[in-house]
Amino acid sequence: MDKPIGIFDSGVGGLTVAKAIAEALPNERIIYFGDTAHLPYGDKSKESVKLYSQRITAFLVAKGCKAIVIACNTASAHAYSDLKKFYPKLPIINVVNPTVNYCSEKYDSGKVGVIATKGTIKSRIYPRKIVKKNPNLEVPQAAAPLLVPMIEEGFFNNNISQTIINSYLSTKNFADIQALILGCTHYPLIKEEVKNYFKGSVDVIDSATGVAEFTKKLLKKEGIASKKREGKNQFLISDYTESFEETSKLFFGEKIDLREERIWD
């Protein structure tokens, strides 16, 4: 049986990436792990996020995964470099680099904003990487700590959520931006509400499609792409509640079978 792709996030937000990968690579089997016991990663210390990411990656490697996708911006910022050192021969993909490459190539100059969790914003991973590739770009940022718990509870696409989103986007940092990066894999679910605020004047960029295409190219390059999917996709979380079951339908676009896997015991 062909080996699966391992994907992990702090919760069910990374299912937006898993869905894009499932659509772009229909022959691949997926094992998804959502660390709902430690949700959200955005307000955790760098050391804690590294520890969680290392433990989950070890779990997925033990499951036979041939590649790992870090479907979390905070984990991508804090843990990617260490994971590459620990697993030098294992293809590891983060959600930041494909988005950075896209923005630095598409926009010659001007402002590209980033909205994300506190952890991702504090790391300054997007400004550092984008400006390094294209010094003519400015990358203003804004942290939005309420959005992940709001989305995890399925509380969006209503007047109250729009008001909360608007309060983050109205920062003077985002005056005259031409594009906005949704720097969290949860945020594609509120993409339309973000678009509503800008009324078509700003390109709203999420990472899911770019990561899926990058993963597809990398598997082909490494000669490990599957020709036919064998077995079912698995969706695991570290702490089960009914709200995750409901929200997972919204993220993945269809009902999935979530199973609790207590790797922290």
Q: Which of 184, 208, 236, 237 is catalytic?
A: 184
Q: E strands, the chain, where?
A: 5-9, 30-34, 67-70, 92-94, 110-116, 137-138, 141-143, 179-182, 203-205, 234-237, 258-260
DSSP state of 134: -
Active site residue 103: no
Backbone angles phi, psi at 122, to 5 degrees: -65, -35
Q: Is the dihedral of CA 182, 183, 189, 190 positive or negative?
A: negative
Query: In a 10 Å sphere around its CB, with 0-12 CB exposed, 13-18 middle and 19+ buried, how is residue 220 labelled?
Result: exposed
Task: State the catalytic residue, choosing from 22, 60, 71, 72.
Answer: 72
- Angle at 31 (CA atoms; ends 26, 35), nearest 5 degrees: 135
Three-state secondary structure call for residue 94: strand
Task: Centre a 10 Å sphere on the Cβ of residue 222 and count the other Cβ atoms it contains.
Answer: 12
**What whole-number distance in Å separates Cα of residue 11 and Cα of residue 52?**
12
For the annotated catalytic residues, the residue numbers are: 72, 184
